[in-house]
Amino acid sequence: MSVFRRIRDITAATLNEKLEQSQDPVRLIDQFLHTTRQDITEAEKLLQQCEAHTRQLNQQVTQAETMKVKREEQALLALKAGEDHLAKLALQEKLIYEEKIEQYEGLLATSRESLREVEEQLGELRMEYQTVYSKRQYYVARMETLRLQQKMNERTGSYGGQDVPKMFNRLEDRISDWELEARSLRDLRKMGQEYLVQAGEGVSSVLDRELARLKEKLNNSGKE
């Protein structure tokens, strides 16, 4: 297991734990996705480098194999021509290319293994990103559902919590009080008017008596 893969496992493992404790899971997921996108970009660059290096090693092996075959053919030609010295030189170079092939084939095998590992890691990263992104969509939908439920509960508490019959009973009591107050004021005014009438009648009687007294006095004075 590479260091790169081990780091990714730690990050993915801690994500679930943090999600359980987070008050804003969507923000936490976005941070994780941002980091994962960066890792994907780095893995893609590494993959390109591994591919280029593998191609170079493969070319070295191919060229060495070509030269090995060529030097062997030259050695045969030299032997046919009776040039043993030249044949030995050709065979010596053939051995050098055989050693080079062996060395580069080892490097090529290692490079191909690294290439395969990077490809697997990149595929896992992309799958991990897509999986977490899908989870993000799910959590966004859950958060929106929760928000709407909370808003509905607030409205229910504001409008649906009223006891309509009691509300009208209170209104009926208030109107009754107002009506009683109005009747009381009307009765008071009526009593005042009756008092004024009675008072007026009393004054009128007094004036009549005074007028009769004065008339009587006037008549008596005329007789004298």
Least confident of 10-14, 104-108, 119-123, 125-129: 10-14
Binned at pLDDT 50, 70 and 90, residue 201 comes out as: low
Binned at pLDDT 50, 70 and 90, residue 1 comes out as: very low
Q: Which residues, at least 6 apart from 121, have a Cβ–Cβ distance to it below 8 Å?
A: 2, 4, 5, 8, 43
Highest mean pLDDT among 71-75, 125-129, 216-220: 71-75
Binned at pLDDT 50, 70 and 90, residue 159 comes out as: low
Contact 43, 118 (CB under 8 A): yes
Contact 101, 64 (CB under 8 A): yes
Q: What single-letter amino acid sits at 67?
A: M
What does the alpha-carbon distance between residue 3 and residue 118 come to, in Å, rounded to a whole number?
Answer: 12
Query: In terms of pTM, does the model score above 0.85?
Result: no
